[in-house]
Amino acid sequence: MKWHVLNPLWVAIGAIGLVLLARQFMVPDDFGVHGRNFTYGYHRLSNIQEWKDFPVKYQGRDYCTDCHAENVQEISGSAHAIIQCENCHGPGVNHPGSVQSLTIDTSRGLCLRCHADLAYPNTNRGTMPSVVDKTHRRRRECINCHDPHNPRGV
Amino acid sequence: MTHSRRDFLKEAVGTTLTSVVPLSAFTLLSTEEAKAALADLKIRYAFLVDTNKCVGCGLCVKACKTENEIPYDAPVTRTWIERYVITKDGKTHIDSPMAGRDGFTDRKMHDEEIDPADIAKAFFVPKGCNHCENPPCVQVCPVGATYQTKEGVVLVDRKWCMGCAYCVMACPFGVRFIHPVHKVVDKCTMCYHRTTKGLPTACVANCPFGARQLANLKDPDDPVTKIITTQRVAVLKDLYGTKPHIFYLGLDLNVR
Amino acid sequence: MPEDMVVHGLEWTVKELFVYPNEYIYWAIQIVMYPYMTGLVAGAFVLSSLYHVFGQKDLKPIAQFSLVFSLALLPVAALPLLLHLQQPTRALEPLLTPHFTSAIAAFGIVITFYGLIVLSEIWFVYRAYFVAQVHELKEQPGLLSALRRIVYRALTIGASDVSDGAIRVDKKAATILAAIGIPTACFLHGYAGFIFGSVKANALWMSPLMPVIFIMSAVVSGIALCMLTYIIIMEWQAYQSRRGGSVLEASEIKGAEIDVISKATRYLLAFLVLAITLEILDLIFRGYTAMKSWDILRSVMYGQDFRNIFILQYTLGNLVPFMLLVLPGRTLRRTAVALVLVLFGVFMMRWNVVIGGQAFSLSFSGYMHYELPIIPHNLETFKEGLFGALTVISMPFVLFWVINKFIPSLRRDAESIK
């Protein structure tokens, strides 16, 4: 009986054993099938909480109303009622806490997002007032003449 | 012959041992875990996108980048807007400058002027991860770094992803990319950090025109769910069988 | 953007017309190298098995060599992946948490299993030689000999019985391992084809023929590489002995044996014909069924990729070497030229699948052009550039040189084994 033929097998078993041992240390304990099945639910469970803990930035208009009720009221009665405060004022996270005042985007580019003339027929955009950027008061910011909280106001 | 039997035995044992490795990858659910899983089956999120309402302002793209810390100037994004202009000669012009991050302010498409008189129809289509029911991206991940939550949201484990990009190749919709800073795969998370707190996603919250809406398909009283179940909606690339969960109103046949 | 922020794929991708914003050529040169290297591994092993299993005695000299060479190729097959991964420190994860619904997860298991088979087979073939070396080196003085003796002792793994019975068992074991190794080698490369063929999102890749095409062309490349390396080494040794610089007698060095080459060539041609047939079949089917993707695919194949597919791969890489090998009056030199062209053709096939599959957008309305980074200026452009590819292709020869010092496999040295 030539037992030496099994020597490579012992080496192989040893190598596989090493991998299994490595698994004990290198794979997090909560890694497994969580959810529907192996195909779609194989993952590290604690990752779910990690994503839940991701910091929220945008607060929503209701958050702004607490302190800025007047501005909210003004814009709500105007043609810009559908615009969210944070669309122009940026996310309200940490405000008024560590961020004293939010940086307002007053660039032409912001207004042109909706109001640049594209002349597309049968679109929602086609129903909105629009300007041709190149020919309309080129070197000035829109807010010089137009009040964003009350665009059609006098 | 004793010798060949021994050799076959050797290989059989070797194969069995090699297959022990995958089996030990499974953990069994306890009864508590199973019960909790079933209880949470009351939520299945989906998006409703109305292309009739979208004006291409791109505020959703900007909000998404800000909310989810995707480098603002990097040409990768979790969501984007496509502009379609079909001219009267039947040609379809499509573009998405900087993914629509700054909106669409120029009539030129791929450096080509298009005469407004030649336009038959034009519209905008917001796109993002469809959080498919049968996500092919999850199926092909070799290490279990991407997965589907019980609400149907598809997420990526940043600490486990090795960046092979197989999932990026497997997504028919092209929504995945390599995050330029974290160097792992990234994609729309359906603002999981917001939706699990009852907040809408950043794109939905920041769309002035209501072109993007969030729905819980398992809640029959959800007004958006009612639209999806009672009006004529469509999905992208239905033929792949992934069962996408962004439902579109006003989806045109020219939309890729 | 700050220096450390790199959008992966941006540097070497040029977009044309409408391409989805996140689309770049993510699978670049290293993913072309990877199936190429695993193909060489599989092919080299199959060539060696033709002798061990099917008793093709004429192939004995090259069989020895290709077995050891396939061992030198094996770690190099993993190298392109390490260079490609965005998180290479996590490269062991497919072994730790394999998600078996993914074809790539099979990689860890299959390459481990295959590696064990190749190592075991080499062990059985060379065990008597190791034992002989242990005895021989005992007599020789010096630190180097002592070190070499330790290595050989370790390699015997405690099995020092070299009686006739033991040698017979060794031969039997080697044969069985070679037999098991053939389907394993096929699986190793078949699954690489499955990696592409199962991606339904990619109109060019999705095809049930992919695994088979990959296996056929893998065997072709493996046989071709072994034949070519064998010819070069044997001719070099013959040249050296003719110049009088060799220790051995001139009569022992005959150079590459024509019979061996002829026999191997016949197998090469058989697999080459199979590979070409399947690829043409795939093309015909696509054109005939004309699915939605056909317009952009045809535009890519007959347009920007025409040179790569029809001129470089099909003509220069398949048709020309086929003619060279089939036409009468075949010389060793003509064979060598044909083999180089075959290797080039198989490389172009990998290129045309990997890069070609990303040459068109998922939107079917745009194109992406791949510009291989030549001079690297950061880690990314090295890893996924020309120099990264050159590192990979030169590795097997470096490894083989080291391995050959302990496990000699060339004719001159092999004589002393059996």
Read off the pLDDT of residues C247-269 as tens digits, 9 standing for 90 and up.
554 444 456 577 788 888 998 99
> In C, which residues are within 8 Å of B163 by CB distance?
85-87, 90
Number of A to C CB contacts under 8 A, please give it.
47
Number of helices and strands in chain C (H, E): 15, 2
> Cα distance from B216 to chain A (closest Cα, Å)?
18
Chain C interface, best mutation among B1, B5, B9, B11, by max C CB count within 10 A: B11
Position B28 confidence tier, pLDDT thresholds 50, 70, 90: very low
At position A29, the amino acid (one-letter code) is D
What is the rounded CA–CA span in Å between residue C191 and residue C197? 9
Taking residues C380-387, report their average pLDDT.
Answer: 93
Beta strands in C313-397 (DSSP E): 366-370
Position B163 confidence tier, pLDDT thresholds 50, 70, 90: very high
* Chains sharing 3 or more CB pairs under 8 A with chain B: A, C
Instruction: Give C 177-236 residues with CB within 8 A of chain B.
Output: 177, 180, 195, 198-202
pLDDT digit string (tens) for B172-215?
999 999 999 999 999 999 999 999 999 999 999 999 999 999 99
At position A98, the amino acid (one-letter code) is S
Longest alpha-carbon distance in chain B: 88
Residue C236, pLDDT score: 78
> Cα distance from B223 to chain C (closest Cα, Å)?
32
Up-side HSE of residue B58: CA atoms within 13 Å toward CB? Answer: 25
> Cα distance from A102 to chain B (closest Cα, Å)?
14
ipTM for the assembly: 0.90
> Is B172's CB within 8 Å of C362's CB?
yes
> Is A82's CB within 8 Å of B66's CB?
no
> In C, which residues are within 8 Å of B172 by CB distance?
200-201, 362
Element holding A112 (H helix, E strand): helix A108-115
B246: nearest Cα among B71, B55, B78:
B78
> Is A52's CB within 8 Å of B107's CB?
no
Mean model confidence pLDDT for chain A: 90
Q: Which of C22, C87, C362 sits opposite B163 (nearest CB)?
A: C87
Rg (CA), chain A: 30
pLDDT digit string (tens) for B59-73?
999 999 999 999 999
Provide the sign of the torsion angle of the four alpha carbons C399, C405, C408, C409, taken in this order: positive
Cβ of A26 under 8 Å from any chain B Cβ?
Answer: no
State the pairing for strand pair A42-44/A31-33.
Answer: antiparallel
Position C287 confidence tier, pLDDT thresholds 50, 70, 90: very high
> Is C98's CB within 8 Å of B142's CB?
yes
A16: nearest Cα among A8, A27, A4, A28:
A8
Residue C253, pLDDT score: 44
At position C122, the amino acid (one-letter code) is I
* Better-predicted residue by pLDDT, C154 or C249: C154
Element holding B95 (H helix, E strand): strand B92-95
C174: nearest Cα among C40, C67, C65, C62:
C67
At position A40, the amino acid (one-letter code) is Y
Taking residues B35-54, report their average pLDDT.
Answer: 82
What is the rounded CA–CA span in Å between residue A63 and residue C380? 44
Reading the block at residue B17, the tokens are 């041992």
Residue C405, pLDDT score: 85
Helix axes C210-242, C29-52, angle to 10 degrees: 70
The angle formed by the CA atoms of residues B213, B214 and B217, to the nearest 5 degrees, is: 130
Region for residue B191 given its phi and psi (left: phi exceeds 0; alpha: psi -120 to 50; beta: otherwise): left
> Is C159's CB within 8 Å of A39's CB?
no
CA distances from B47 to A150, B44, B238 (A): 32, 10, 16
What is the rounded CA–CA span in Å between residue C275 and residue C217? 6
pLDDT over threshold 60, residue B34:
no
DSSP designation for B83: E
In this predicted structure, which of B56-65, B134-143, B197-206, C406-415 has the lowest mean pLDDT? C406-415
Decide: C388 and C380 in contact? Cβ < 8 Å.
no
pLDDT digit string (tens) for C124-134?
888 888 888 88
State the pairing for strand pair C13-17/C366-370.
Answer: antiparallel
Q: Which of A7, A15, A26 sits opposite C96 (nearest CB)?
A: A26
pLDDT over threshold 90, residue C78:
no
> Cα distance from B22 to chain C (closest Cα, Å)?
7
> In B, which residues are within 8 Å of C97 by CB distance?
25, 143-144, 160
* Better-predicted residue by pLDDT, C79 or C57: C79
**Of all residues in chain B, what percent are helix, strand and coil, respectively (each to 5)?**
30, 20, 50
> In A, which residues are within 8 Å of B155 by CB distance?
47-48, 51
Residue C238, pLDDT score: 79
Cβ of B135 under 8 Å from any chain A Cβ?
Answer: yes
CA distances from C157 to B3, B6, B136, B254, C186 (A): 19, 18, 46, 67, 29
Instruction: Give B 5-24 residues with CB within 8 A of chain A.
Output: 6-7, 10, 13-14, 17-18, 20-21, 24
Decide: A71 and A80 in contact? Cβ < 8 Å.
no
> Is A54's CB within 8 Å of B102's CB?
no
Residue B7, pLDDT score: 62
Decide: C105 and C93 in contact? Cβ < 8 Å.
no
Cβ of B87 under 8 Å from any chain A Cβ?
Answer: no
Decide: C50 and C232 in contact? Cβ < 8 Å.
no
Taking residues B19-32, report their average pLDDT.
Answer: 49
Q: Which of B57, B139, B206 sits opposite A39 (nearest CB)?
A: B139
Residue C58, pLDDT score: 67
> Cα distance from A154 to chain B (closest Cα, Å)?
24
> In A, which residues are within 8 Å of C99 by CB distance?
38, 42
Looking at domain C16-414, its CATH superfamily turns out to be Formate dehydrogenase/DMSO reductase domain (1.20.1630.10)
pLDDT digit string (tens) for A30-79?
999 998 899 999 999 999 999 999 999 999 999 999 999 999 999 999 99
Residue C203, pLDDT score: 95
pLDDT over threshold 80, residue B41:
no
> Is C169's CB within 8 Å of A26's CB?
no
CA distances from C44 to C59, C72, C73 (A): 12, 10, 9
SS3 annotation, chain C: CCCCCCCCCCCCEEEEECCCCCCCCCCCHHHHHHHHHHHHHHHHHHHHHHHHCCCCHHHHHHHHHHHHHHHHHHHHHHHHHHHHCCCHHHCCHHHHCCCCCCCCHHHHHHHHHHHHHHHHHHHHHHHHHHHHHHHHHHHCCCHHHHHHHHHHHHHHCCCCCCCHHHHHHHHHHHHHHHHHHHHHHHHHHHHHHHHHHCCCCCCCCCCCCHHHHHHHHHHHHHHHHHHHHHHHHHHHHHHHHHCCCCCCCHHHCCCCCHHHHHHHHHHHHHHHHHHHHHHHHHHHHHHHHCCCCHHHHHHHHHCCCHHHHHHHHHHHHHHHHHHHHHCCCCCHHHHHHHHHHHHHHHHHHHHHHHCHHHCECCCCCEEEEECCCCCCCCHHHHHCCHHHHHHHHHHHHHHHHHHHHHCCCCHHHHCCCC
Residue A35, pLDDT score: 85
> In B, which residues are within 8 Å of A125 by CB distance?
55-56, 124
* Better-predicted residue by pLDDT, B132 or C246: B132
Q: Which of C101, C169, C170 sits opposite A39 (nearest CB)?
A: C101
The angle formed by the CA atoms of residues A105, A109 and A115, to the nearest 5 degrees, is: 115
> Cα distance from A113 to chain C (closest Cα, Å)?
19
Domain boundary assignment for chain C? 16-414
- From B240, which residue of chain C is nearest by alpha-carbon distance? C200
pLDDT over threshold 90, residue B105:
yes
Residue C140, pLDDT score: 83
> In A, which residues are within 8 Å of C95 by CB distance?
19
Decide: C246 and C240 in contact? Cβ < 8 Å.
yes
Q: Which residues contact B225 (CB under 8 A, 6 or more apart)?
A: B46, B215, B216, B217, B219
What is the rounded CA–CA span in Å between residue A109 and residue C129? 78
Residue B39, pLDDT score: 54
* Better-predicted residue by pLDDT, B222 or C70: B222
Rg (CA), chain C: 23
Number of A to B CB contacts under 8 A, please give it.
180
> Cα distance from B73 to chain C (closest Cα, Å)?
7
> Is B57's CB within 8 Å of A35's CB?
no
Decide: B185 and B165 in contact? Cβ < 8 Å.
yes
- From C184, which residue of chain B is nearest by alpha-carbon distance? B15
Note the residue count of chain C. 418
Residue B2, pLDDT score: 47
Decide: C45 and C57 in contact? Cβ < 8 Å.
no
Count of other CB atoms within 10 angstroms of residue C157 = 15
Taking residues A108-125, report their average pLDDT.
Answer: 90
Element holding B156 (H helix, E strand): strand B154-156
Decide: A30 and A44 in contact? Cβ < 8 Å.
yes
> Is B143's CB within 8 Å of C93's CB?
yes
- From C116, which residue of chain A is nearest by alpha-carbon distance? A12
Reading the block at residue B139, the tokens are 């199926």
Q: Which of A4, A5, A31 sits opposite C97 (nearest CB)?
A: A31
**A54-85 per-residue burial string, b: 16 or more CB within 10 A, e: under 16:** eebbbbbbeebeeeeeeebebbeebebeebbb
Position C190 confidence tier, pLDDT thresholds 50, 70, 90: confident
Position B108 confidence tier, pLDDT thresholds 50, 70, 90: very high
In this predicted structure, which of B129-143, C56-70, C98-112 has the lowest mean pLDDT? C56-70
> Cα distance from A147 to chain B (closest Cα, Å)?
18
pLDDT over threshold 70, residue C95:
yes
Count of other CB atoms within 10 angstroms of residue A46 = 13
Residue C250, pLDDT score: 42
Residue C46, pLDDT score: 81
Residue C289, pLDDT score: 95
Q: Which residues contact A83 (CB under 8 A, 6 or more apart)?
A: A75, A148, B208
pLDDT over threshold 80, residue B19:
no
- From C124, which residue of chain B is nearest by alpha-carbon distance? B7
> Is C20's CB within 8 Å of B15's CB?
no
What is the rounded CA–CA span in Å between residue C46 and residue C62? 12
What is the rounded CA–CA span in Å between residue B101 and residue C22? 13
What is the rounded CA–CA span in Å between residue B170 and residue C261? 43
pLDDT over threshold 80, residue C16:
yes
> Cα distance from A38 to chain B (closest Cα, Å)?
8
